A and B are shown apart, each in its own frame.
Chain A
Amino acid sequence: MAVTTPTKFIAVVLGIAFASPSYAYLDPGTGSIILQSVLAGIAVAMGLLRFYWHRFKAFLANLVGSSSVQQGETAGEEFEQDSDAKKEA
């Protein structure tokens, strides 16, 4: 997933460069078509941004998460040591 999604995004961004015939019986209008390209480009850029933002958040969470796990383990050890001490007492 981590590899395929951005690849897909990049593919669709590049896709803007390839030709696609119109199937309309009505004239879609040049202004509308250019505008749609712009809006789609923005949508894709926002999608990419969102994707990397989530990855960044996940990375941060991981960083904070792993350190808190270490703290937990330490705390647990302390607790065990503590309870052991109590037993001894």
Chain B
Amino acid sequence: MSSIVAESGSFRDHRGRIYHVGDRVLRTVMPVAMEDFEFARSSGVVDDLIARGLLIGESEADKSLLGTAGAAATRVIEHPRLAFVSYPYEWSFAALKAAALLHLELHQEALRKDVTLTDATAYNIQFDGARPVFIDSLSLRRYRDGEFWDGHRQFCEQFINPLLLRAKLGIPHNAWFRGTLEGIPAEDLSKVLPWHSRFSWNVLTHVFMQARLQSSAGSSEKAAKRSKSGKLPRMGFEQILHGLQRWISKLEPRDDGATVWQDYARDNSYVDHEVAKKREFIADFARAVTPQLLFDIGCNTGDYSVLALESGAHYAVGFDFDHGALDHAFKRSAHRGLSFLPLHLDAANPSPSQGWMQSERHGLLQRASGDAVIALAVVHHLAIARNVPMEQVIDWIIGMAPQGVIEFVPKSDAMVQRLLSLREDVFTEYDEESFRAAITARARIVRSSVVSESGRTLFWYERP
């Protein structure tokens, strides 16, 4: 029998918890949650949302699967396993926006059936390719006439404010969000937004007014009491959700010009027939390996992920540090309905395990191991631009998946020359021979191929 592992990030809501049993994902529904659980299901909204793909599927599971944890619960339900769990601080602007719009759509849909949501955390949304899915089915509960939107502040901190940071200031939300884990408070954002952003009614109210009201009322018990004695008419609730949906759907990054790497597809040291060679190699690899989960490190706008998917890979997670390229990749995946999820990653500083007990949010490599990895035109960015010893770079990449393709870019290549143009070349060990030796120390080279005149070489490895 597989061991029962409680999901360490699922502890806040006492009404139920997620457990892993082998590959299965199970959720307890505690007695305290039963009334809401049954109400939401009898309203028909749960089935409806699942059928429309907005909410993750669920089925009844045997309580005994969870031992004592199952015995304490009234019901146990099972969810389909996600291909890859990602966090809002790894999402592109386009992904965070899609998640925000899903939350609002789902909430409005639920309200029509007298169902509301207990919270508005962005961690309740996951992606299937570029399609957002709401995963916390216990968040749905009965709506009581006149109640406030409890998740409003959380929605602002985890969706609106991070989006505004990029839309108004051109600053990506990822580093700030990863630092706080719970998003960006209105009190902080209001200090950095330009004065004229108050001319936007939504920014004025949801950021500036909220920050002011929070800081002025927060110190006064009287004000807190008064705030608790109010009611939010249903029409007002619906208006707020609808207004936010309309507003967010129009938000775009302020720096929406082409970024450095978005142009990479056109501006690189490859010529067309060389690109064809490289594509053929990757297609062969994907056809032979047919990975369930492929990691694409330095995915850029997703050309090679898409190629791998077309050639036999089932699901691709791409990583890149360029925000423009990621937005482009996300829109491409959404537009074509691909099983491709592009995420933000600085390979020299991957997402750590953090949060409560340093295990609430899992580090990148703790979440899933890939069946295959491709790292094209990446190694020199780590080995030269970030001074990471080349052996360690190879070690890290090969550690990600049992099979993969790694590209070596020689010093003579224009792209490496560009990295070295303003600095001393201290990288005496950066050559193809050392590169090949580093791979063979850890894996078998299945095939290698020179794909450019400058001497770029692809290595297909297989771990023993």
Contacts and interface: CB of A to CB of B under 8 A. Distances in A.
Q: Do A and B come from one complex?
A: yes
Given A18-B231, A20-B144, A20-B230, A35 B213 contact: yes
Contact of B228 (A26, A32, A33, A40): A33
A24 B121 CA distance: 13
B381 interface: no
Contact of B236 (A20, A26, A43): A43
Contact of B186 (A13, A28, A31): A31
B150 A24 contact: yes
A25 B119 contact: yes
Contacts of A19: 228-229, 231
Contacts of B212: 31
A35 B232 contact: no
Interface in B1-58: 12-15
Contact of B148 (A13, A15, A33, A44): A33
Nearest to B240: A39
B236 A40 contact: yes
Interface string B219-234: 0000110011111111
Interface in B134-174: 141, 144, 146-154, 156
A75 interface: no
A35 B237 CA distance: 12
A39 B239 contact: yes
B148 A22 contact: yes
Contacts of B217: 30-31, 34
B211 interface: yes
Given A12-B235, A43-B239, A30 B224 contact: yes
Interface string B224-268: 100111111111110110000000000000000000000000000
Interface residues of B, number: 45
Among B118, B223, B227, B233: residue with most chain A CB under 10 A: B233
Interface in A1-58: 12-13, 15-26, 28-41, 43-44, 47
A33 B217 CA distance: 10
Nearest to A25: B13
A37 B240 CA distance: 11
B352 interface: no
Contacts of B231: 15-20, 37
A9 B144 CA distance: 18
B449 interface: no
Interface of A: 12-13, 15-26, 28-41, 43-44, 47
Given A12-B234, A15-B146, 9 more contacts: A13-B233, A18-B229, A22-B150, A23-B144, A24-B151, A32-B152, A32-B213, A35-B213, A40-B236
